[in-house]
Amino acid sequence: MGGAYHARMPLDRAMERLRERVREIDDLQAAASLMYWDQNTYLPRGGGVARGRHLATLERLSHERLVDPEVRRLLEGLSARADELAPLERDLVRVLGRDVERATRYPSSFMATVTEHAAASYDAWARAREADDYELVAPYLERTLELSRQYAGYFPEAAHLADPLIDAADEGMTVAELRPLFARLRDALVPLVAATAMAGPAAPALPVEADGEAGGEARQLQLTLRLAQVLGYDLERGRQDLAPHPFAIRMAHGDVRVTTRVDPGDLAEALFSTLHEVGHALYEQGLEPRLEGTPLASGVSAGVHESQSRLWENLVGRSRGFWRFALPLVQASFPELAHLDPERAYRAVNQVRRTLIRTEADEVTYNLHVIVRFDLELALLEGRLSVVDLPEAWCERYRRDLGVVPRGHADGVLQDVHWFSGLLGGAFQGYAIGNVLSAQFFAAASAALGDLETQFAAGSFEGLHAWLREHVYLHGRRRPPMALVKQVTGQSLTLEPYLDYLREKYADVAAAAVSP
């Protein structure tokens, strides 16, 4: 065995062997995904610590198999003869090569340490949030910061400590590119919020009555699942469950699940969290089946993934056309909304408010929430901000950018799980990139397909779905994210389509709000 053996191995046998090896890694990752899904839906609280250990073991095994010497030898042999490979196999060798190269930077034990720490930190965060006590979780955040710097240390060529983590989620993106982009976005959004925000706290957008003992869940879940199917979500290969923090997750081509959250008094929560997660799920369900069992079978980046969830949630689900189609269905399930007409429903779900909670934010303020987090995590990594001073820095940025100040930690620095369930850096930029790209993809789809609003009003979403499947979903990770964006939209990541979309839409919404 050894290099010479593999050098003599016929190409197709080497490829077959490599596919066996990556399928085993895919199986381990599917097991981890199923455990994660369970952890966030049905796992009893008492199982949390053990689950952290289960996931850490799977993570370690998966990493060990990825950096295994045989995999590296096979990759080397196949890369050397890449021009003899079919296009799909060439892409597999290139993408796997990138994954292996990144994974060999750190020992298997490092990721297991991170996973186990993340589980303990998550647990502390949940208690801290309940008690509104930042000090309960601050030591865990210190340790997270330490581990994040250690991770960055494995990539000494990186220009910024956050770059390796950003690159892991959004290949090719760097702090040097994102910081000025987000600064321009912020400078454009602050005046737009000033021009469009309504005064006072948000009232329920779609107030409904709870279903008695079931907590109002049954009717809401039924309706949102029906709408998900209309958009193209395949229930033969999916299911919907409740989760406190909704997510979508793929176990296999035939098993892509969504979760949702219900507010018994406001249908908007379940509706838009479902449309969002269904957007993620349409992407994963739309991957080419023959990518199954390889690292190509996944959305290509955090930003491109989020562009799809935001596209279906906002550019579709918060459009006039959608509400012309959907309102009668909504009213059939919820007669208490009979007083709405499509125009009033459209305005109700597009209110701009200065609020504290990112996940409840409207389209105009949303990115300001994200940019606050992005800037603060860079400050922590750079050592310009200490963990102790983080809550105060958080409040100051909220006052400055959004004009509101948290009452406590739970609706301030402790509201999001990200900093308390993994490494620091690389988790938030994808949301802002996703919003920007959602408009870029939608503009490209509109140019190809004509007036999409008219199609939505007629209950037809298949044109848009098929276009996205053909241009984005099918390819999985076969092209690097920014190459895909350029190819599909004709431009690299650019703010203009997004800002045009927001300005046009919300000038109109604000004008309608003041007219009689």
- Between 250 and 324, CB nearer to Zn ion: 250
- What DSSP letter does each residue of 403-467 carry, written as one string? S---SSSTTTTTS-SGGGSS-SSSSSHHHHHHHHHHHHHHHHHHHHH--HHHHHHTT--HHHHHH
DSSP 31: H
Does 260 help bind Zn ion (rule: CB under 5 A)? no
User: Binding-site residue total for Zn ion (CB under 5 A)?
Assistant: 2
The nearest distance, CB 514 to Zn ion, in angstroms, is 33
β partners of residue 159: none
Please compute Rg for the chain using Cα positions: 23
The nearest distance, CB 277 to Zn ion, in angstroms, is 7
The nearest distance, CB 309 to Zn ion, in angstroms, is 4
Residue 332 phi/psi, 5-degree rounding, is: -65, -35
β partners of residue 256: 250
CA torsion through residues 241, 243, 245, 249, sign = negative
Which residue in 162, 136, 126, 43 sits closest to 417, CA to CA? Answer: 126
- Between 224 and 309, CB nearer to Zn ion: 309
Strand 255-260 to 240-242 pairing: parallel
144 CB-near residues (< 8 Å, 6+ apart): 117, 118, 121, 419, 420, 422, 423, 424
Stretch that binds Zn ion, among 303-311, 313-321, 383-391, 420-428 (CB under 5 A): 303-311
The nearest distance, CB 240 to Zn ion, in angstroms, is 15
Reply yes or no on whether 453 is catalytic.
no
The nearest distance, CB 279 to Zn ion, in angstroms, is 8
Stretch that binds Zn ion, among 41-49, 207-215, 235-243, 298-306 (CB under 5 A): 298-306
Minimal CB distance to Zn ion: which residue? 309
Q: In what order do the strands lie in the sheet with 255-260?
A: 240-242, 255-260, 248-252
β partners of residue 198: 353
Which residue in 33, 42, 474 sits closest to 248, CA to CA? Answer: 33
- Between 259 and 350, CB nearer to Zn ion: 259
- Between 173 and 345, CB nearer to Zn ion: 173
DSSP 311: I
CA torsion through residues 206, 211, 215, 220, sign = negative
Does 309 help bind Zn ion (rule: CB under 5 A)? yes
Does residue 160 contact residue 174 with C-beta atoms inside 8 Å?
Answer: yes
- Between 140 and 431, CB nearer to Zn ion: 431
Active-site residue, from 116, 171, 269, 277: 277
The nearest distance, CB 32 to Zn ion, in angstroms, is 19
The nearest distance, CB 34 to Zn ion, in angstroms, is 20
Which residue in 158, 330, 116, 343 sits closest to 227, CA to CA? Answer: 330
**HEC secondary structure over 456-478:** HHCCCCHHHHHHHHHHCHHHCCC
Helices (H), 132-197: 138-153, 163-169, 175-196
- Between 136 and 371, CB nearer to Zn ion: 371
The nearest distance, CB 269 to Zn ion, in angstroms, is 15
146 CB-near residues (< 8 Å, 6+ apart): none
Task: Compute CA distances 219 → 41, 262, 286, whole Å.
Answer: 20, 10, 28
The nearest distance, CB 436 to Zn ion, in angstroms, is 14
Tell me which residues touch Zn ion (CB under 5 A): 306, 309
Residues annotated as catalytic are: 277
